[in-house]
Amino acid sequence: MKLARRLRRLARRFGGARAFCVMLLLALAALRIADIPALEELRLRSFDTYQVIEPRTKTVKPVAIVDIDEKSIQKYGQFPWPRTLLADLVTRLRMAGAVVIAFDVVFPEPDRLNPDLAAGSFTGLDDDTRARLRALPSNDQVFADAIRRSRVVLGESGLPYVLRELDKKLPVTGLATLGGEPHPFMLNFPGLLRNIEAIEKAAAGRGIFSIRNERDGIVRRVPILMQTQGIVMPSLSFEMLRVASGSDTILVKSDRAGIKSIGVHGLEIPTDRNGQLWVHFAKHDPSIYVSAADILDGTASPQAIARKLVLVGTSAVGLLDVKTTPLDASMPGVEVHAQVLESALTKTILSQPNYAIGAELLTAIILGIVVIWLAPMFGPITLIIMGSIFAALLIGMSWYFYTTQRLLIDFTYPLLSTTLIYLTLIFSNFVREQAQRRRIRSAFSQYLSPALVAQLAQSPEKLKLGGEEREMTIMFSDVRGFTTIAESYKDDPHGLTTLMNRFLTPLTNAIIDRKGTIDKYMGDAIMAFWNAPLDDAEHQINACHAAVDMLEKIDALNKQREDEAAQGGPVYIPLNVGIGLNTGICVVGNMGSDLRFDYSVLGDSVNLASRLEGQSKEYGFSIIVGSNTALAAEDKLAILELDFIMVKGKTEPEVIYAVTGREEMAQTERFQQMRNLTVELLTCYRNRDWDGALSSIERGRNSDIGHQLDAFYALYEKRIRAYRENPPPKNWNGAFALLTK
C-alpha cells in the first residue's frame, strides 16, 4: 500500500504532460530512424544554407570545360557535329596537353554523315564517286582513331528502362571491395545507353554522366558508383580520376551501414551509404570554360588546357543541360562534374559519416530529457534563455564541423525534437490557463460584453490603437437608385427598415461565407475586406465569388418582391447593386480614438475600390475590379477588360475589369465572342483607330450580346466623338481621366 501511494505521488509530481512528452520523444526518434521526407528536406536545406554562406573557395583550377556554346554552334552548326570534327577537337586537346578528355555526351548511333551512308542516300552520283565514298573510312572510325591516340573517357547515360541488352564483350572497369558487400547500397539504373562499339572500344574509360536530383530538384550528391543491367559503372568524373591515376581497379570500402568510401591509387573519396559524393560547390566559374570554337580554330590559349582534366560539354540553351545546385539555379550540367573533380583533387569533399544519425539521436534524447525534467520547474523567460543557448550550441557545433572538418552534421532534428517537446509542455500550461480564463469570463460577463471579455482574456494587448500592413482585397457595394426606393416608403419607415434588413442579410451572408470580413454598413452600402484578420491565400478569388453570390441573392430577392407586389404587397422597384473590388497593400487594425475604436482598413487601395464601385453604372456592369484582383482571379471567373483609367486624385493609371460570371461562363461561346469584340474595340481605341473601334461597336450591337454591352458601347461612342473633335495629345497612352470620384 505504501509503495502504491508513493508511486501515485511520484506520478502526480511527474505529471501527465511529462509522461506524454517521453512518448513523444520516442516517437520522434523512430521518425528520425525512418528518415521521413520532411526531416530529410529540412536537413538538406540546412546543408544548402551552409554552402550558400561559405561556398568552396578555389585555390587551384585543375579542370577545364571545353564548351559547345552558342558561339560554337553558330560557327560549326547544330550539335551533334560530324565525328570528324570531334576527332579534330580530341587531337587538338591532346596536343595542347590535356591529361584526360571526357565527353559529357553519348554517341549511341553511327554518324549520319558517314561516307558510306552519303553514297547510298545522295542521288545524282556516278558509280565511280559512290565507290570512292564507300572506300573512305567512316567518320566513326576517324573519331575512334583519335580517341585511341588520347586518354579519353566516354560518357554513358543511365536510363529508367532497359533499351537493349549489353554487349558483354565491351570493356568494364574492374572493382575490388573491402569490408561488407556494397552492391545492395548502390543506386541502380534499370537501363544504360552506351556509345557505338567502335568508339567504346577505343576509349581509355567509360563513365555514367547521369545525375539524380533530390526530391526538390536540387543537385547535392553525385553517385560515384552505380549498378545498371548487372554491371557496376563509375561516374564520368570518377572514371576520369581513375584514368588519370593509371589505376585498373576501383576500391570500395563498406560496412553493415553502407558504403564508406570509394578510391583509386593515391585517392580515397568518402561517400554516403549509397556511394554518393556530397559536392562541395563553389560559385559558378566562367574562367574554366573554353569555347570549342576557339579550340578548333586554334585561338585558345594553351595554358587553358595544358596539364588539366578536360570535360567536353555544353552550356548552349537549346541543348537543355542545366542543373539546380544550392548556389545556382541554372548551372550547366558539365560544370557539376567539374565541381566534383575539383573537390576530389583539392581534398575539399563534404561528407556525412554513417555515425551521424547516432550522434543526432543521442543529442536529441539528452536535450529532450533535460527539457522534460526542467521545463515545468522554470519560468518562461528562463526557458527561453535556456532554449536559445541550446539552439546556439547545436547550430554552432554543426557549423564548426562544416567549416573545419567538412562534415555535415544535422542540427535541425535535435532542435526540432526539443522544440516540439517544449511546445507540448507549453500547450499543457495553456490548457490549464484556459480553464482559469473561462472562470474570469464567467465573472466579468455580467459587466462587459462577452466579445470584449473574450478579447481581454485572450489578447489584452490588442486593445490599443495601431495596425499592420498586408495585401488585402477590398469591396464596396451600393444599391443603385436607393433614394427612389426610399421615397416610395416615405409613409412606411418600418417597411423601409424591413427591406434594408432583407437585402443586407443575404449580402452579408454571401461575404462571410466566402471568408470575408464586414467592415461597416453605410446606409444601403457595405464595406468588406478579405485576408484579415485571418490569412486567406485566395482572397482575390473569394472576393470575386462573393460578389457574384451577392448578385445571385439580389436576383432571388427581387423575384420574391415582384411576386409579393403582384399579390398586393408594396410597389415593386427592383434592387440593383454596384460592386467595386480592388487588391493592394493596406493598413488594417484597431483604429479610432483612445475611447472608441474599430477594426478597420485604410489605404489607397481602399479608395480605389470605392471609386470602382461608383463606376459600375457608367460601364453597365455590376462588378468592377482593379487589375491586381483581376489578374489573380482570371483563371477562376469570367473576367472582361473594360478600360485604362486615371482616377481623380491618383497619378498612376489603372486597368479595370468586369466580372461577368463564374468559370463555366468563361468557357461559353457567348463570353468568348464578348471578350473578342471587347479586345478588338479597346485595341482600335488605344491605337486611335476611331473607325475600327466604331466598327467593333456596331458588330457588337448586331450580335446576341449587344444589349448586355449597351452602356459600355455608348460610353466609348461618346468618347470617340469627343476625341474626333479634340484629339488626345501625341503622348496619350489610352488612359481616360475620370472627372468624378
pLDDT, one tens digit per residue, over 186-196 is 999 999 999 99
Residue 168 has pLDDT above 80, yes or no: no
Say what the pLDDT of residue 736 is: 86
Say what the pLDDT of residue 593 is: 67
Read off the C-alpha cell for 116: 558510306
Q: Which of 232-241, 376-385, 539-548, 586-595 has the lowest mean pLDDT?
A: 376-385
Max mean pLDDT among 357-361, 394-398, 619-623 falls in 619-623
CA 224 to chain CA centroid, Å, is 30
> What letter does residue 167 receive in the DSSP assignment?
-
Say what the pLDDT of residue 423 is: 80
Say what the pLDDT of residue 461 is: 46
Residue 377 has pLDDT above 80, yes or no: no
> What long-range pairs does 729-732 form, CB within 8 A, spacing at least 24?
732/688
Burial-class residue 371 by CB neighbours within 10 Å (0-12, 13-18, 19+). Answer: buried
- Which amino acid belongs to residue 249? T
> Rounded to an integer, what distance in angstroms lies between the CA atom of residue 451 and that of residue 481?
36
SS3 of the chain: helix, strand, coil, percent, to 5 = 50, 20, 30
SS3 477: strand
Which residue is listed with cell 461577368? 660
Q: Which residues pair with 100 in a beta bridge?
A: 309
> Rounded to an integer, what distance in angstroms lies between the CA atom of residue 730 and that of residue 455?
59
Is pTM, for the whole model, over 0.85?
A: no
Task: Work out the percent of the chain whose per-residue pLDDT is above 90.
Answer: 42
Parallel, antiparallel or unpaired: strands 100-103 and 267-270? unpaired
Confidence of residue 449 (pLDDT cuts 50, 70, 90): very low
> Rounded to an integer, what distance in angstroms lies between the CA atom of residue 371 and that of residue 457?
29
pLDDT tens string 523-566: 889 999 998 877 889 999 999 999 999 999 999 999 999 998 88
Nearest C-alpha neighbor of 332 from the set 321, 317, 343: 321
Residue 197 has pLDDT above 70, yes or no: yes
Say what the pLDDT of residue 600 is: 82
> What letter does residue 144 receive in the DSSP assignment?
H
Considering all CA atoms of the chain, what is the largest pairwise distance in Å, rounded to the nearest integer? 115
Read off the C-alpha cell for 377: 520547474
pLDDT tens string 219-254: 989 999 999 988 899 999 999 999 999 998 999 999
Every domain of the chain and the residues it spans: 23-55+352-430, 63-345, 470-663, 668-741
Confidence of residue 34 (pLDDT cuts 50, 70, 90): confident
Say what the pLDDT of residue 255 is: 87
Burial 679-697, CB ≥16 within 10 A → b, else e: ebbbebbeeeebeebbebb
> Rounded to an integer, what distance in angstroms lies between the CA atom of residue 311 and that of residue 295?
13
Parallel, antiparallel or unpaired: strands 309-313 and 100-103? parallel
Residue 453 has pLDDT above 50, yes or no: no
Say what the pLDDT of residue 21 is: 80
Do residues 573 and 620 make contact, with C-beta atoms less than 8 angstroms apart?
Answer: no
pLDDT tens string 337-352: 999 999 999 888 888 8
Residue 205 has pLDDT above 60, yes or no: yes
* Average pLDDT in the chain: 84
> Residues 277-303: what's their mean pLDDT?
92
Read off the C-alpha cell for 731: 503622348
Sign of CA dihedral 90, 93, 94, 99: negative
Do residues 739 and 719 make contact, with C-beta atoms less than 8 angstroms apart?
Answer: no
Do residues 344 and 269 make contact, with C-beta atoms less than 8 angstroms apart?
Answer: yes
Architecture of the CATH domain 470-663:
2-Layer Sandwich (3.30)
Read off the C-alpha cell for 255: 560496412
Confidence of residue 124 (pLDDT cuts 50, 70, 90): low
> Rounded to an integer, what distance in angstroms lies between the CA atom of residue 459 and that of residue 176?
68
Residue 120 has pLDDT above 80, yes or no: no
Say what the pLDDT of residue 733 is: 85
Say what the pLDDT of residue 369 is: 81
Do residues 625 and 645 make contact, with C-beta atoms less than 8 angstroms apart?
Answer: no
Say what the pLDDT of residue 465 is: 46
Which residue is listed with cell 420574391? 560
Which residue is listed with cell 553558330? 74
Read off the C-alpha cell for 603: 489605404
Residue 331 has pLDDT above 80, yes or no: yes
- Cα 350 to Cα 56, 222, 332, 713: the distances in Å are 10, 12, 21, 69
Max mean pLDDT among 377-381, 499-503, 655-659, 736-740 falls in 655-659
pLDDT tens string 474-487: 999 999 888 788 88
Higher per-residue pLDDT: 184 or 118: 184
Count CA atoms closer than 13 A to 707's CA, side-chain side. 1
> Rounded to an integer, what distance in angstroms lies between the CA atom of residue 700 and that of residue 710?
9
> Residues 400-406: what's their mean pLDDT?
89
pLDDT tens string 56-83: 998 889 999 999 999 999 999 888 899 9
Residue 355 has pLDDT above 80, yes or no: no
Residue 2 has pLDDT above 80, yes or no: no
Q: Which positions ≥6 away from 38 have C-beta within 8 Å? A: none
> Residues 265-285: what's their mean pLDDT?
90
Confidence of residue 448 (pLDDT cuts 50, 70, 90): very low
Say what the pLDDT of residue 239 is: 94
* Cβ neighbours of 366 (radius 10 Å): 12
Say what the pLDDT of residue 127 is: 64
